A and B are shown apart, each in its own frame.
Chain A
Amino acid sequence: MVSMTVDLAGARLPNPLMTASGCAANGRELHRFFDVADLGAFVTKSVMLGARSGRGTPRMAETPSGMLNSIGLQGPGIDAFVDDDLAWLASVGARSLVSIAGSDSEEFAEVARRLRDSSSFGSVAGVEVNISCPNVANRGLVFACDPGSSSAVVSLVRSQLPAEVPIFAKLSPDVTDLVTIASACLEAGADGLTMVNTLLGMSIDIDTMRPHLGGVTGGLSGPAIRPVAVRAIWQVRSAMLTGRLPVAPIIGVGGVRTGHDALELVAAGASAVQVGTSTFNDPTAPVRVLRELEQLLEDKGIVAFTDVVGAAHPS
């Protein structure tokens, strides 16, 4: 029996497997296929302050081993989310990692405050701060592409939440120097990092000679981006091991379809793993990957999951 428990900056989880934000809705749909309380944590769709319709269609384009999406952060808003979705997740015993988003740093802070004040806050294992959305106050520049904007959001969110609830900044791989952004987030009070969000991509319909997506550009995800996730995790973990960054847990996400894929992210330095787009192919993927990972570790004679975190780095 491999011990699969993890401690992510104070969030103690029975195992390291999670859903990925936006790839699992808010629980009920996947609960038809497996018990969402079996996951280490359930990661919710990024929620903003008010209700949002998202973008027009088409919202997706299939690409080799992946897809592009331009959903536009559709959601019910934080008040409906806590009353309805979070309460439901709590009622089935799931630990939630709640993903929050905003158009400016004040919106992030307000969403965090309302989450904290909600009656189901006790079921929240942590908060994931999705800084991969455009900052209306800063010419639409994506927060996660700018250390100043990232740091402003993280510190405001941190100030709204009790110290024992860890926050994870979710980074975009579309930057020149990921370590600089990671550093800004950790210094501003992030307890950990989630890597990576989708890569910006685009597809053109050659029949109409127009962009395929209603939103013109979209986020690329799926197994096609796994090498990018592995690289990002490796770079940031290396910076931690060489003292350029404070040591903090990394949640790996990007292209995981099997236990092998998950172990690759873990060996690069991830202390937990999220499964996103692969869930569209197999709704049970997050728990299947958990079983496969557990078996793989057992076959390798490993006794504790935490022993392989960052194992690929020279010791």
Chain B
Amino acid sequence: MTSRPGSGVATVRAELVASRVVGAYQHLTLLAPEVADLARPGQFVALAVGGPTSATLLRRCFSIHRVTPDAREGGSGSGTVELVVADAGPGSRWLTQVPVQGEVDLIGPLGKPFPLPTEAVGCVLVGGGYGSAPLFWLAELLRERGCGVEIVLGAASRDRLFGAPQTSDDERASHGVTVTTDDGSQGVKGWVSDVLPEVMARADAQVVYACGPMAMLRSVSELAAAHGAVAQVAVEEAMACGVGVCMTCVMPVRSSDGTTKMVRSCVEGPTFRGDRVRWDAFVDGHAVVPADAVGAPVAAGGGGH
């Protein structure tokens, strides 16, 4: 597989150079210099699962946790891409079991990165579960621009937190990180939305970045709006292709002209401004087509595939 020069995306057979368990997740490091050089926080990769003759055809998408770009001029071939993978089903389990030195077929970087503020403003980064994976890399870039950064990490339980301080030493070093768990096994017992207003006030937040489950993204968007901050959220819609050709990954998003369209989250997202997403159209995590969306079915049905 190849892709065209200048296309901004690479297709590679990447060697797995490290794979380790982190809490409930598997942290994978893949040798993929072409992807590492192009990627920005908020983007993702699409991985083939099950080997070349697999009956599992659809790729699996994962946020890029961080990259280590190629060090030398012209590329030494040492750039890596890191992912944090939860065992959610057969495809992701296969990935967590790839042996070190094994190869994984990877396309990336895909999607739009998180937009960065042009001025040094206060930022709050909110991650739910493995959703925190891309946030630390984002935090580094924001700090380089002089932004103040606070991080809120939430999960159901301690083992499902990613990137949270593990020891009391860690905790002293990780100034600016607030942790919540549903069961109280680490940090504040409760949801990220319980602590977010206080953290936004403390950080004087003008931008709130979030990545995690849909319900969390919705509440973060609402709280950010109430605080007068812009929310930038990274969504996770089921994707069959990841590259913009199948139309499976759509969600209702309001554009700047006020019209709602069913847009592809793989190419127009996965990062969206929280106030543009039509959260009212989501029922149990799935989007129905809002009646006022462009081209919405006028009668029941709407047929065809």
Whether A54 and B289, one on each chain, are in contact in the complex, defined by CB atoms closer than 8 angstroms, is yes
B158 at the interface (CB under 8 A from A): no
Complex contacts, A73 vs chain B, CB 8 Å: 303-305
B20 → chain A closest CB, angstroms: 28
Whether B244 and A222, one on each chain, are in contact in the complex, defined by CB atoms closer than 8 angstroms, is no
Whether B288 and A32, one on each chain, are in contact in the complex, defined by CB atoms closer than 8 angstroms, is no
CB within 8 Å for A54 and B58 given contacts A59-B247, A69-B240: no
Query: What's the Cα separation between A58 and B239 when bound, in Å?
Result: 10
Complex contacts, A215 vs chain B, CB 8 Å: 302
B228 at the interface (CB under 8 A from A): no
Query: What's the Cα separation between A66 and B58 when bound, in Å?
Result: 8
A109 at the interface (CB under 8 A from B): no
Whether A282 and B1, one on each chain, are in contact in the complex, defined by CB atoms closer than 8 angstroms, is yes
Query: What's the Cα separation between A35 and B7 when bound, in Å?
Result: 11
Query: What's the Cα separation between A76 and B3 when bound, in Å?
Result: 27
Query: What's the Cα separation between A24 and B57 when bound, in Å?
Result: 16
Query: What's the Cα separation between A222 and B241 when bound, in Å?
Result: 13
Whether A279 and B305, one on each chain, are in contact in the complex, defined by CB atoms closer than 8 angstroms, is no
Stretch from A132-140, A228-236, A300-308 forming part of the interface with B: A132-140
Query: What's the Cα separation between A132 and B295 when bound, in Å?
Result: 20
Complex contacts, B297 vs chain A, CB 8 Å: 52-53, 55, 72
Contact flags B243-280 to A (C-beta < 8 A → 1, else 0): 11111101100000000011000010000000000000
Whether A277 and B295, one on each chain, are in contact in the complex, defined by CB atoms closer than 8 angstroms, is no
Whether B246 and A284, one on each chain, are in contact in the complex, defined by CB atoms closer than 8 angstroms, is no
A281 at the interface (CB under 8 A from B): yes
Whether A280 and B241, one on each chain, are in contact in the complex, defined by CB atoms closer than 8 angstroms, is yes
Complex contacts, B55 vs chain A, CB 8 Å: 64-65, 223
Query: What's the Cα separation between A53 and B253 when bound, in Å?
Result: 12
Whether A72 and B304, one on each chain, are in contact in the complex, defined by CB atoms closer than 8 angstroms, is yes
CB closest chain-B residue, reference A277 = B57
CB within 8 Å for A62 and B286 given contacts A69-B305, A280-B241: no
CB within 8 Å for A140 and B301 given contacts A222-B57, A277-B57: yes
Query: What's the Cα separation between A301 and B9 when bound, in Å?
Result: 37
A250 → chain B closest CB, angstroms: 21
Cross-interface CB contact of B250 among A54, A277, A282, cutoff 8 Å: A54
A51 at the interface (CB under 8 A from B): yes
Supply 10 further A-B pairs (C-beta < 8 A) apart from A51-B295, A58-B238. Answer: A22-B247, A25-B244, A29-B267, A33-B243, A55-B302, A59-B248, A60-B58, A69-B240, A71-B304, A74-B262
Instruction: Please list 7 pairs of residues, one from A and one from B, whose beta carbons are closer than 8 Å in the complex, sorted by A's number.
Output: A22-B305, A23-B246, A57-B237, A57-B286, A66-B57, A74-B250, A283-B1
Chain A residues close to B by CB (< 8 Å): 22-25, 29-35, 45-46, 50-60, 62, 64-67, 69-75, 77, 101, 103, 130, 132-134, 140, 197-198, 214-215, 218-219, 222-223, 277-284, 288
Chain B residues close to A by CB (< 8 Å): 1-4, 7-9, 11, 48, 55-59, 107, 237-238, 240-241, 243-248, 250-251, 261-262, 267, 286-289, 293-297, 301-305
Closest 7 CB pairs of A and B: A219-B305, A32-B7, A51-B295, A133-B304, A134-B303, A73-B304, A29-B244
